[in-house]
Structure formats: C-alpha cells, structure tokens
C-alpha cells in the first residue's frame, strides 16, 4: 500500500529514506529499491542533504517510481526560487511522484560548496501553501494550470525539546503548517519515549498523522555527537552506555532501534527510519520490531 492510502486508511505506515550519491552511478539506488520493495509504504529521497551536492531528488524519485516504490520527494527551500520550485513540482506530478516533504534545508556553509549562495525565496510554510495552490489548479501568480497537481504534502517537526518555550514553538509551527496544507508529519529522531508521549498528547488535537523518526545508533560516539550537535535529539545516557559496552555494536544498535519502535508505535501513526548508511538493514529492523 502507498503512503497516502496507508495513512488515510489508518494503517500504521512505514517509511525510510535514501540519500542519492555524488555522481551518476545509480547501482546502489537500484539495489536498495529491490530490497525495500514490498517492505515499506514510502521512501524519502533527500534533497542535497547537509548542503552536499549530489544526484537530484527528482531524478532519484523517478527511478523509484519505475521500480514500484512510492517515493517522498524532499524539497528544500534553500536552492531554488519560486519559479524553479513550482516547475519541479509540476515535473514530479508528471513523473508519477505523489508525495512531497517540505524542509528548509541546511545552510550552504555547512556543506561542500561553502561559497554557494542560498535562495530561501519561499520558507517552508510558504512552499506548503504553494503546493496547496497547485493542487487547486493555480500557480503563485494566480494563473490557472493546464492540469493541476495532486500531491500529498508533508512537513517535519521536532517533538522533543529542552525547554517549554521550544516545545510551544514546535506545536505552533506544526499548527501553522497544517493550516496551509500539511497532511502528515515526520519527526526528528526520538529516543525518549516519555517525552514523545507528552508531545503526542498535545499534538493529537491537530488530527494529522505523525510518523516518529528513528535513527539506529552505530556507536556511543555517534550518540554523543548527536546530543551535542543535532537540535532536538536527546539520546539517554543508558543507551549511550549500552552502545559503549556492546561487543557487537551493530546488533545492539539495531536492537535499540527495534525496541524504540515497539515502545513508540502505539503513540503515533507510523515510523520513519533514517538508517544513514544502514538502509539495507531496514527490513531486519522491521522484523525485530515485529512489523515485517
């Protein structure tokens, strides 16, 4: 079942993501498509992730469509003005891409082309509204389209915050994105079940599906790095200790991910696994979480 149909029917949805490589070799994408086909409801394709130049999300999504998968076309506001954004949305619709996830995008100074100029002609809320307009058959100039889009629009949210003010801001941003057309949300990585449950009790008022984000831990160092450098991610000390002591860190990291999914699945509408190089292990995580 495709992502939109899964969420609208109330089925627990499973998504993961792939990051295109730097170059024209697409053999890894083809291999991943074969592994993931029939296992997940949707596959996010990142859009120049971490501001690093790579093969485009649009072309990669088209490849996945051709191989029977339901891709989620990630679009950052960083690299394109409103003309290019709208054109890519039309192209996505023509290529059979049905889902879009809107994100702001990291600053170019964090990537591999630090002298690149950012655009941010539209912010994430404005881009979501633009897609809603195009679904209604009009572009941003008010001109009627010859064939409208029918895109299922998603956004991101950070469910775990270190202050009450930050939590309130996330909820307010979530509500605003819904008001302009967001139909589902994927979250930043979650490791604190109690904090996520507290967030979902408040977010449930919006009646929009939320897919909890899961990033499998690979080492204690990775966990400490995320705690220090990734906004909205808080890995508990006991998980860091388990990773530090583990003889088989891969098995321990996959086990923690599966255990989190089991603990979180009754609190949300789906799971989004960001495997970060472990995409081939997604089916194994799902089996361990009793979701295969």
CB 103 within 8 A of CB 74: yes
| Residue 122 scores a pLDDT above 90 | yes
What is the rounded distance in angstroms from the CA atom of residue 167 to the CA atom of residue 180? Answer: 21
At 112 the pLDDT is 83
Angle CA(43)–CA(48)–CA(49) in degrees, nearest 5? 70
Predicted pLDDT at 266: 97
Cα separation, 102 vs 119, in Å, equals: 15
Where b means 16+ CB within 10 Å and e means fewer, 232-248 reads bbbbeeebbebbeebee
- Is residue 292 over pLDDT 80? no
Q: Domain of 214?
A: 3-288
Residue 94: how many other CB atoms lie within 10 Å: 11
What mean pLDDT, rounded, does the chain reach?
Answer: 96
- pLDDT for residue 232: 86
More confident residue, 15 or 1: 15
The label of the residue with tokens 């930043």 reads 188
Domain with residue 11: its CATH number is 3.20.20.220
* Residue 53: pLDDT band with limits 50, 70, 90: very high
Find all residues with CB under 8 Å of 2, minimum gap 6, and list them: 41, 42, 70, 98
- pLDDT tens readout for residues 176-231: 999 999 999 999 999 999 999 999 999 999 999 999 999 999 999 999 999 998 88
User: How many whole angstroms separate alpha carbon 4 and alpha carbon 42?
Assistant: 9
Q: Which of 135, 5, 18, 13 is nearest to 67 (CA)?
A: 18
> How many structural domains are present in the chain?
1
pLDDT tens, residue by residue, 254-276? 999 999 999 999 999 999 999 99
Question: H-type helices in 55-97, by residue range?
Answer: 57-66, 82-94
d(C-alpha 123, C-alpha 262), whole Å: 35
Q: What is the pLDDT of residue 195?
A: 94
pLDDT for 67-105, tens place per residue?
Answer: 999 999 999 999 999 999 999 999 999 999 999 999 998
The two structure tokens encoding residue 151: 């895109």
**Segment holding 114, helix H or strand E:** none
Task: Please give the DSSP secondary-structure letter assigned to residue 143.
Answer: P
**How large a percentage of the chain has pLDDT more than 70?**
100
Which tokens hold the place of 205? 């008022």
Asked if pLDDT for residue 1 goes beyond 80, the answer is: no
Residue in the block written with tokens 């058959």 = 137
In the 8-state DSSP scheme, what is residue 144? B
Rounded to an integer, the average pLDDT of 17-40 is 95
Positive/negative CA dihedral, 96, 66, 39, 223: negative
């Amino acid at each position: 079942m495709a992502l939109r149909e899964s969420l609208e029917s109330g089925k627990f949805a499973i998504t993961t993501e792939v990051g295109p490589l730097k170059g024209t070799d697409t053999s890894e994408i083809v291999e991943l498509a074969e592994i993931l086909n029939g296992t997940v409801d949707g596959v996010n394709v990142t859009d120049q992730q971490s501001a690093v130049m790579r093969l485009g999300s649009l072309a990669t999504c088209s490849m996945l469509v051709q191989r029977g998968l339901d891709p989620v076309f990630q679009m950052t506001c960083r690299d394109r003005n409103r003309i290019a954004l709208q054109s890519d949305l039309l192209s996505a619709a023509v290529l059979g891409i049905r889902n879009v996830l809107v994100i702001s995008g990291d600053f170019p100074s964090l990537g591999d082309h630090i002298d690149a100029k950012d655009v941010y002609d539209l912010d994430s809320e404005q881009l979501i509204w633009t897609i809603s307009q195009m679904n209604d058959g009009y572009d941003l100039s008010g001109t009627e389209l010859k064939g409208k889009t029918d895109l299922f629009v998603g956004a991101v949210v950070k469910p775990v915050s270190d202050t009450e003010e930050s939590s309130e801001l996330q909820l307010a941003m979530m509500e605003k994105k819904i008001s302009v057309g967001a139909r589902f949300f994927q979250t930043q990585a979650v490791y604190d079940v109690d904090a996520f449950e507290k967030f979902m009790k408040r977010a449930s008022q919006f009646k929009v599906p939320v897919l909890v984000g899961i990033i499998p831990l690979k080492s204690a160092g990775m966990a400490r790095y995320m705690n220090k450098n990734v906004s909205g991610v808080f890995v508990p000390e006991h998980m860091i200790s388990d990773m530090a002591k583990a003889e088989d860190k891969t098995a321990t990291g996959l086990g923690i991910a599966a255990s989190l999914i089991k603990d979180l699945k009754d609190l949300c509408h789906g799971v989004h696994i960001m495997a970060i190089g472990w995409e081939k292990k997604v089916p194994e995580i799902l089996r361990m979480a009793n979701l295969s």
